[in-house]
Structure 1
């Protein structure tokens, strides 16, 4: 246990630097939209957001009736999907940036800040036991690490 706490279980052998801009939408369980329809609409929404043709309102903005307002970005949905029916299918959209300046006003502006403010992502890891090939007792360490990972991360 002391070995694992001191040295860890894996070694970083590579990583990517850069930025990532992700759109999150949660679909309500009662939504009649199929996964392929949601994917198609999210692709259109992403294209609109990332080209700057559409922006999201401030989080949790309410309309005059004090109901949460569905972002205008969802105009990509078919005309038969009304504002009221969409309200029960989709919860508010949120975007999350990794790397770059998150305070940038839109995707194009944020993209320009990524080279000067990159984030580490997509870590490539190998088990620490790979350094100990041929060392007596490496099997015991490997077994201990597997048990640690199984029961400590519950």
Structure 2
């Protein structure tokens, strides 16, 4: 049993270290499976033998041949009770935790509050948000020193013009950001989402509901044991409470029992991300990529339709230019001889015979 736990710890730590420098699309939830695994990092990390060493990971795990530029920091366990925040305040809070700038709704944010990955319309319905939960960070691996140098194959893939297919292919291949750090451990959190149609206007009422439900979730009682992974929703008041657990065992158990399963089964609970656009400065075509990524993050079209979305960003003439229209009786006569309409009736009839 101890051997299998050590393997799990080793594999988790290896995944965390190997993810450093990979591309990531922040419209997706944080998950190793969502990393842009293309065989090598997007950024230069010196990994020759002279610049590598064995890295000690909390939990008795040693990872060999880790670049000196990647460090490991021991974490801590903390319970966080948020205030009742507006959408923009919560977006800033979530993005700050991931070291992102702005109010982009990341895939991690959407997944936490029970929203779809393409949650543009759902965001407009949000009145307030809050959460209460335990964050068990066992350790974090991250770049200690980084000078922002992309590999040549990434630079060469930057389109030099507004090429919709090439831009879509670039984002699909490399993502929108670069992973610079990963926090490992577990978290057990209750998230509350209140919609504008809710009649509750007192934030204290939302906090009271959240606190009472969280106390039941996190205490070791028979009631908690049976409902450890169930979500709650109050349709009448349009309040939704979502339970998210990451890391440790996925089985229903007491909270204290779950805590004991985190060390042998840690998972990624947070990421530190660098905008890919900040690393493209000075590269020909970087302006097109930056604009494309900004549009993608703002409107979140499906990745399979991204090239078509970019097609519509090109300036187009949706009507004939005045100088191209032939005027005069001759033009009207010619048009009337071969195209005749009859709009009186249930159908439209077109006579194409001169």
The alignment's TM-score, normalised by the length of structure 1, stands at 0.62
Q: Which has the higher contact order (CA 8 A, sep 6+)?
A: 1
- Name structure 2 gaps, 5 residues minimum: 1-166, 303-354
**Stretches of structure 1 lacking an aligned partner (at least 5 in a row):** 60-70, 72-85
* Counterpart residue number, 2:202: 34
How far off its partner does 1:103 sit?
0.6
Point out the structure with the larger strand share.
2
**1:3 match:** 170
Whether 2:271 is the aligned partner of 1:103: answer: no
Is the contact made by 2:218 and 2:224 (CA closer than 8 Å) also made in structure 1? no
SS of 1:16 mapped into structure 2: strand
> What is the alpha-carbon root mean square deviation over aligned residues?
3.6
Deviations 1:1-37 (A, max 9, x none): 2222221221111221111112356779677683312
> Among 276, 295, 301, which residue is 1:153 paired with?
301
Query: Which of 14, 20, 26 in structure 1 is aligned with 2:187?
Result: 20
How far apart, CA to CA, are the structure 2 residues paired with 1:141 and 1:26?
34
Aligned: 1:126 with 2:244: no
Q: Indicate the residue corresponding to 2:115 in structure 1.
A: none
Q: What residue number does 1:141 align with? A: 289
Question: How many residues matched?
Answer: 129
Q: Distance in 1 between matches of 2:182 and 2:193?
A: 29
TM-score (norm 2): 0.30
Distance 1:57 1:32, change over 3 A: farther
Q: Distance in 1 between matches of 2:235 and 2:290?
A: 51
- The alpha-carbon distance between structure 1 residues 56 and 92, as it changes in their structure 2 partners (threshold 3 A), is farther
> Alignment partner of 2:223: what SS?
coil
Q: Report deviation, 1:111.
A: 0.7
1:51 partnered with 2:219 = yes
CA contact (8 A) 1:25 1:90 kept: no
2: CA distance, partners of 1:90 / 1:129: 39
Please say which of residues 43-52 and 86-95 is displaced more in the overlay.
86-95
1:13 and 1:125 in contact (8 A); partners too: yes
Q: Residues 187 and 245 of structure 2 are in contact (CA less than 8 Å); yes or no, is this contact kept in structure 1?
A: yes
Which of the pair has more CA radius of gyration?
2
Secondary structure at the aligned position of 2:259 is classed as: helix
